[in-house]
Amino acid sequence: MHIAWLGKKAPFCGNVTYSREVTNALQDLGHQVSFFHFAQEGPPPDNWPDFLEEVSIPFLHKSQLYTIPNFRSKKVLTDSLEDLKPDVVHASLTLSPLDFLLPEICEDLDIPLVATFHPAFDRKLRNFSSGTQHLAYQLYAPCLAKYDRVIVFSNIQRAILIKLGVAPSRIAVIPNGVDTQKYCPGASNFKAEVGAKRVFLYQGRISPEKNVESLLKAWKQSNMGVGAKLVIVGNHGPLAASLTPFYGTEHGIIWMGFIANEQRRIEILRGTDVFVLPSLVEGLSLSLLEAMACGLACVATDAGADGEVLEKEAGVILKTQGVATQLKILLPQLRDHSAWTTILGTNARQRAEERYTLSDNIAQVEKLYSELLLLRSQSKRQTPQYLSHTSPHLSDDVFVRSKY
């Protein structure tokens, strides 16, 4: 089938990785993918696929968190979809005003519309970040109710959207997936490169909601010794610039910045003992799944779905409150008990293989597309001629008779 995919290529974030991995896999299975994105100058991301068609949508501003389109964006998108006539439109939502226009556009063009809803969340409103993210869910829920299907990563997200008024029949729980053949345990010289006996790793954005400062504070207070190194991989923004003077290399902390090359990131993972994700809010972290697939002992907060991922001894789960205090106690134990971290890494790898493979993710996405196309075909056959102009997006396939 032909899928029109709306997503991101830059700046690098989980949404970018999701779009790359899913569209690569769909094309490998023989589907045609046209890629729509808010383009900007710069080299393409690592391992990015070639598409049947690539459409650049104009914009005023773009960041890791949101995008502001310009006045021409809707027309460019509509005209391109009308020309390409895809079977399905799949929007990996970029938190843009254009997201709210998509149901109307696709309804007018009679194309089934699927969304993947990424915003991070916390199952409880325990801090300012989680409260702010919950507002995103409240803002988007009325719009998501108009999409044919909305993909979320966990039952917790599903429950939130149902509570906010999205029909259960429109929500599909399809967890993030990782390529467990590519991301797997293997040889690495990374430990020798950084001169460490034990390597701890954080990989992700250096932003307030990721709570990296709590990890750094706990590391400094734990006196981890010269044999242990904490490696920080991620974009160096204003927050990183404010942290590096206080948490420098003299504490065994190595700031590596953003690493675009995927194979290099895999090499770092394979040379790491413990992966730590101290986030205040999350969705379902791809970085966490990649670390699990590589057999690392994983520590993460119970924000978002990450606690669900690590439950039943697949990792160590922290509360989002008092992260620094918890890590201060935990880090030396993870440093000193290699047998324990080995067991945790084995369990993490097994969990990734059982629940979070990319192949299973893609199979579920393909099934969702096929079900939507079948429903659309059936509704067209069953709709009387005089109702054929009526919107196929009406809730629960109920068509209202109007005077004709």
Question: Would you state the pLDDT for residue 355?
Answer: 95
Position 404 in a domain = no
Residue found under tokens 């690539």: 54
pLDDT tens figures, 350-382: 999 999 999 999 999 999 999 999 998 887 777
Position 185 in a domain = no
Claim to verify: residue 69 and residue 218 sit in the same structural domain: no
Claim to verify: residue 336 and residue 362 sit in the same structural domain: no
397 versus 222: which is more confidently predicted? Answer: 222
Please give the model's pTM, rounded to 2 decimal places: 0.84
- How many structural domains does the chain have? 2
Claim to verify: residue 129 and residue 86 sit in the same structural domain: yes
The answer to whether residue 317 scores a pLDDT higher than 50 is yes
Claim to verify: residue 344 and residue 389 sit in the same structural domain: no
Position 182 in a domain = no
> Which sign, positive or negative, has the C-alpha torsion 148, 154, 157, 162?
positive
The answer to whether residue 193 scores a pLDDT higher than 80 is yes
Query: How many angstroms separate the CA atoms of 173 and 123, rounded?
Result: 16
Given pLDDT bands bounded at 50, 70 and 90, which one contains residue 399? very low
Claim to verify: residue 229 and residue 341 sit in the same structural domain: yes
Do residues 176 and 284 touch, judged by C-beta distance below 8 A?
Answer: yes
Query: How many angstroms separate the CA atoms of 80 and 287, rounded?
Result: 33
Claim to verify: residue 250 and residue 391 sit in the same structural domain: no
Would you state the structure tokens that stand for residue 190, as one six-digit string?
A: 């990374």
pLDDT tens figures, 124-178: 555 444 445 578 889 999 999 999 999 999 888 898 899 999 999 999 999 999 9
Given pLDDT bands bounded at 50, 70 and 90, which one contains residue 391? very low
Given pLDDT bands bounded at 50, 70 and 90, which one contains residue 44? low
Q: Which domain holds residue 287?
A: 190-355
Claim to verify: residue 122 and residue 254 sit in the same structural domain: no
